[in-house]
Amino acid sequence: MKLKTLMLGAAAASVLAPAVQAERGEDGNVNIIYWQAPSIMTPYLSGGTKDIEAASLVLEPLGRYDETGALVPYLAAEIPTVENGGVSEDLTQITWKLKEGLLWSDGSPVTSADVKFTADYCMAPEGGCAQFAKFTGVESIETPDDLTVVVNFDKPMPNPYGPFMGGQSPILQKAQFEDCVGAAASTCTEANFNPIGTGPFVVDEFKPNDVISLSANPNYRDPEKPAFATVTFKGGGDAEAAARAVLQTGEYDYAWNLQLAPDVLASMAEGGEGTPVSAFGTLVERIEMNLTDPSPDLPEGERSTVAHPHPILSDEKVRRALSMAIDRELLVEVGYGQAGRATCNLVPAPELYASDNTECLTQDLEGAKALLEEAGWTDTDGDGVREKDGEKLSLLYQTSTNAVRQDFQALIKDWWRQIGVETELRNVDSSVFFGGDPGSPDTFQKFYADVEMYANNFDGTDPQSYLSMYRCGNEPKPSSQWQGENINRFCNEEYDAMLDELAKTGELEKRGEIAKKLNDMLTKESMTIVPLVDRGRVSAHSNTLGGVVLNTWDSELWNAADWYRIDE
């Protein structure tokens, strides 16, 4: 009951709660459009956001993050913590208790064996589980009784909420997936498309990369929910068309992730059929500086490796000048509007971990010029581009293909031109840019450019693994087939030492302090990473759809059970 009151409260904040007693399925059909079409209904085999969110209508984890990032129990009776004894003092064990009387949509009871099976399924070798990282450190899982699951870790885990928490690791039914473990995972088409779950809806028909038809789960734990009898979950098209279908024609009730220029979205919202909603998470659009030399003159295998420091960007003053020349508020206005905030932080949220670093927010072209002069870059031949030792201050700036990113490129190129920096722009198809093909020169890991721009975030609310990406030696390099997360090739012993300390610290206040320090070392102290915009998520719902609470910490459809139709 605690959960229900919590959610009703959230729903009531936006609209008056439905007056009469609700009844399951009384509100008919709801249409959802995702412009990327889901291809599979289990998050374990795909990892794509679209698939995770589609699956969240059917499959549920033990607990989810709510719109503030707080933990909310779903299948679990409560969230285990050190205080309530659910997490052991030494942080190596977490004990989950399932709610009583939970049923799968086929009517069989949910037991701790299903939870344990889910972990076995994902950790099986050769399965290629996309959420494997959620289960790092899991040593063993015990099921003392039908409702209790004990997870043992091989070392202290300050954040023990990896397994079974959030849309990425929901619980699968053991009976259904038993024969699908490991290499057999891809032979189970039927189970992968029509998983039996505990969520508010069940799949009636799954057309991969096209449309999913769902109907209310007859065994859902709250007899009054969901209000909708059926769901049509359409995929395909583009963000613009999805926005149009909700805001202008009213054909659809909910559209996901509308990455559109703010003026386009605003003029569509004048259609009056729906409302855009936005919320902020941890996604930060940033410019990454290459600390190594990407020159094509170097032999293959040495370009962009630590063997050759960058001839221009190794100088901290140059990096700082480049950052000072950028007007982040204007970028937000042009590219994101309500769905963006200028930021100087790599970790913009949650509050506990967000540094109060704001000095980059004011553009300072004169200061940038002075810094470049100080660094020895002067325009000696009067062509508007600075030189030093016969070398021009000329940069190659790459990013993925996307209308907003190309606008950003044009604006930043213009500011850099004003401080005497010549910029060549390049945009790369995102399936190549974000792919890890070691044979391609255009991946973001290979970084055959001087600066590059993209966005990244972290799952859940804990930034430890996110900050650990910038550890020495974790850089993409030929010996690791160009896999690696330290994109800038940043290396600082002090940083690494603090990371080790963070991994040992359990106390939240202390963790926040260390994380802020780490964030500052990467951003304002060294300007290795130049954050631009804290990107929110914009979605839109029709004016007749109630109960939508946009959540960036978990699946957007996390509370689809509470959605209802507002009568006009």
Partner 1 sequence: MLTYAVRRLVLAIPTLLFISFVIFMLLQLAPGDPMAQVPLTVPPEVKQMMREALGLGEPPLVQYWKWLVQVFWTEPKVLVDWMTSETALFGWLPDTQLYQDELRVISWQTRSPVMEIVLQRIPQTLWVVGMSYIVGVLIALPIGIYSAYRQYSVFDQAGTFITMVGFSIPPFFTGPLLIVIFSVQMGWFPSIYDTTHEVTDWASFKYQLSQMIMPVMVLALQTTAQLSRYMRASMLDNLNQDYVRTARAKGLSEAIVVMVHVLRNSMIPVVTVIALGVPAIFGGAIITENVFKVNGIGQLLITALFANDLPMVMTLTFIFAFLIVLFNLIADILYGLLDPRIRYD
Partner 2 sequence: MTEPVPASPVPIEALKDKGPDKPPRSKWRDVWEQFRKHKGAMVGGAFLLFITLGVLVGPWLWTLDPQALDIRAKDMRPIYTAIWNSEADVGWAHPLGSDQLGRDNLAQLIAGGRASMAVGWAAMLLSLIIGAGIGVVAGYFRKLDGPLMRLTDLFLSLPILPLLLVAVTLFRQPLRANFGPEGGMFILIVTVVGITSWMPTARIVRGDILALKEREFVLAARSIGTRPFQIIKRHLLPNVLSPIMVSATLGLATAIITESALSFLGVGFPSDFPTWGKMLADAVARMEDFPERVMLPGIAISLTVLGVNYLGDGLRDALDPRIRGR
Q: Which residues bind partner 2 (CB under 8 A)?
A: 240, 260-261, 263-264, 267, 296, 330, 334, 400-401, 403, 406-407, 409-411, 413-414, 424-430, 432-433, 439-442
Interface with partner 1 (CB under 8 A), residue from 285, 442, 462, 534: 442
In whole angstroms, the minimum distance from the beta carbon of 435 to partner 1 comes to 3
d(CA 235, CA 247): 17
Q: Using the rule CB under 8 A, is 526 a contact of partner 1?
A: no
Q: 215 phi and psi, to 5 degrees?
A: -135, 165
Strand ranges in 258-386 using DSSP code E only, listed in sequence order = 274-289, 340-342
Of the candidates 81, 140, 209, 380, which one interacts with partner 1 according to CB under 8 A?
Answer: 209
CA separation (Å) from 420 to 167, 383, 409, 416, 465?
47, 9, 16, 6, 38
In Å, how far are 398, 402, 427, 454, 512 from 430, measured between CA atoms? 11, 8, 9, 10, 34
Beta-bridge mates of residue 29: 230
335: three-class secondary structure by DSSP: helix
User: Which CB atom, from 70 or from 241, has the smaller least distance to partner 1?
Assistant: 241
Q: Which stretch binds partner 1 (CB under 8 A): 189-197, 288-296, 335-343, 546-554?
A: 189-197
Options 90, 126, 383, 494; binder of partner 1; rule CB under 8 A: 126
Tell whether residue 241 is a contact of partner 1 (CB under 8 A).
yes
The option from partner 1, partner 2, none interacting with 213 (CB < 5 to 8 A, set by class) reads partner 1
* Partner whose footprint covers residue 241, from partner 2, partner 1, none (CB < 5 to 8 Å by kind): partner 1
Q: How far is the CB of 529 from partner 1 (least distance, A)?
A: 14
Question: CB 480 → partner 1: shortest distance, Å?
Answer: 8
Is the Cβ of residue 443 or residue 461 nearer to partner 2 in the bound state?
A: 443
- Smallest separation, CB 268 to partner 2 (Å): 9
Residue 93, SS3 per DSSP: strand
Contact of residue 334 among partner 2, partner 1, none (CB under 5-8 Å per partner type)? partner 2
Shortest CB 132 distance to partner 2, Å? 29
48 binds partner 1 (CB under 8 A): yes
Burial readout 164-178 (b: 16 or more C-beta within 10 A, e: otherwise): bbbbbbbbbbbebbe
Residue 337: which of partner 1, partner 2, none does it interact with, CB under 5 to 8 A by kind? none
Q: CB under 5 to 8 A by kind: which of partner 2, partner 1, none does 443 bind? A: partner 1
**With binding defined as CB under 8 A, does residue 291 bind partner 1?**
no
Q: Give the amino acid at 54.
A: A
Within 10 Å of residue 13's Cβ, how many Cβ atoms? Answer: 9
With CB under 5 to 8 Å by kind, the binding choice for 2 among partner 2, partner 1, none is none
Q: Which of 249, 358, 362, 378 binds partner 1 (CB under 8 A)?
A: 249
Using rule CB under 8 A, residue 485 touches partner 1 = yes
Question: Least CB distance from residue 241 to partner 2, whole Å?
Answer: 10
Q: Is 137 in the site for partner 1 (CB under 8 A)?
A: no
14 touches, from partner 2, partner 1, none (C-beta below 5 to 8 Å by class): none
HSE-CB for 204 with a 13 A CA cutoff: 12
The span from the first CA to the last CA of the chain, in angstroms, equals 30
Question: In sequence order, which residues have a C-beta less than 8 Å from that of residue 92 and are 6 or more positions away?
Answer: 152, 153, 154, 155, 156, 157
Quote the least distance from Cβ 526 to partner 1, whole Å: 21
Q: List the single partner that 383 binds among partner 2, partner 1, none, CB under 5 to 8 Å by kind.
A: none
Segment lying near partner 1 (by CB under 8 A), choices 80-88, 313-321, 482-490, 539-547: 482-490
Would you say 122 and 43 are in contact if contact means Cβ atoms under 8 Å apart? no
CA 75 to chain CA centroid, Å, is 23
Q: In which region does residue 126 sit, left (phi positive, over 0), alpha (psi from -120 to 50) or beta (all else)?
A: left
Q: Which residues, in sequence order, are CB contacts of 356 under 8 Å at separation 6+?
A: none
128 binds partner 1 (CB under 8 A): yes
Beta bridge partners of 59: none
DSSP 550: -
Q: Is residue 325 within 8 Å of residue 345, measured between CB atoms?
A: no
